[in-house]
Amino acid sequence: MEASYIRRTKDGRIHIKSGSKGDQVVRWTLIILLVLTVVGFLLFNYTGLELGSAIAETAYNLKVMFLEPTLSHFDLGEAVYQVGITLGLAFLATIIGAIIAFFLSLMVATNLAPAWVSRIIRIFVAVIRAVPTVLWVLIFAISAGLGSEAAVLGMLFHSIAYLVKAFSEGFEEVDKGIFEALKSSGANWWHIVRSGVIPTTLTYLLSWVFLRFEINFGVAVAMGAAAGAGGIGFELFMASGFYFDLREVGFITYSILIIAFLLEVISTRLKRRYFPATSN
């Protein structure tokens, strides 16, 4: 049944309209985006564009890239090593970020920390989260120099802000009865966290850490070239922008997709086996 909302006019009459205000906002947002998309296509400069040859050339490039993948400038062993570097960057940023985010989240959750402390940290991490990861990496690449340090620091900043929000929301969902029972037994703040909060939310926290690791792997691929961090992302940049070897681009793309798929499968199986509550 479609929702409706009531609006009273100045003369006292009541107007009933179908659909909620949220539905109206979503509808008009989609319409505006559609109009902007059409206008954008109309404003493109199509001078010298031959649509038929452009489509044919694009189809040929895609065929070469995805149906004839091969390695030309490095061997399979080097490819595995570069994938390992990318996974290492993502793992390092995720683990350090999760540890820092855990302690910050204890100071953000309104049921564990004073309101003024929670508010200050929430504003701080919201500002960090609003800045894209790529921009953080570029900031550290300029200040600390190109390399794996810039990539890890950039991903680390955004991972902390991302996980603080997720962790603190999980802490705030803990049953108040657990806090009251522990307090009545004389438990202090840290005992409440150790005996009540952590066991209750552990599966939830680990689930978010798995998700963030998958995100950081994709970011590490992109940052391999942007921050000079190396890894399979740097090889992809060299193959596409320096060598223009479409076959090697296809091989690297397939390897990235396979690793991303394996990470998803491993994450899903671990959650189903050890954390069934989070996989429902």
Domain ranges in the chain?
A: 4-65, 74-278
Q: What are 143's two structure tokens?
A: 């200040």
The predicted pLDDT at position 6 comes to 54
Residues ≥6 apart with Cβ < 8 Å to 179? 111, 192, 196
Q: Which of 99, 104, 103 is nearest to 128 (CA)?
A: 104
The predicted pLDDT at position 66 comes to 86
pTM to 2 decimal places: 0.76
Tell me the CATH class for 74-278.
mainly alpha
Does pLDDT of 241 surpass 80? Answer: no
User: 178 or 159, which is more confident?
Assistant: 159
- 117-171 pLDDT per residue, tens: 889 989 998 888 888 888 888 888 777 777 778 788 888 988 999 999 999 988 8
- 40-79 pLDDT per residue, tens: 888 877 777 777 788 888 888 888 888 888 888 778 888 8
User: 223 or 155, which is more confident?
Assistant: 155
**Model confidence at 8, in pLDDT bands (50, 70, 90)?**
low
Give the whole-angstrom CA distance, residue 245 versus residue 252.
11
The predicted pLDDT at position 58 comes to 87
Give the whole-angstrom CA distance, residue 45 versus residue 41.
9
Q: How does the average pLDDT of the chain come out, rounded?
A: 82
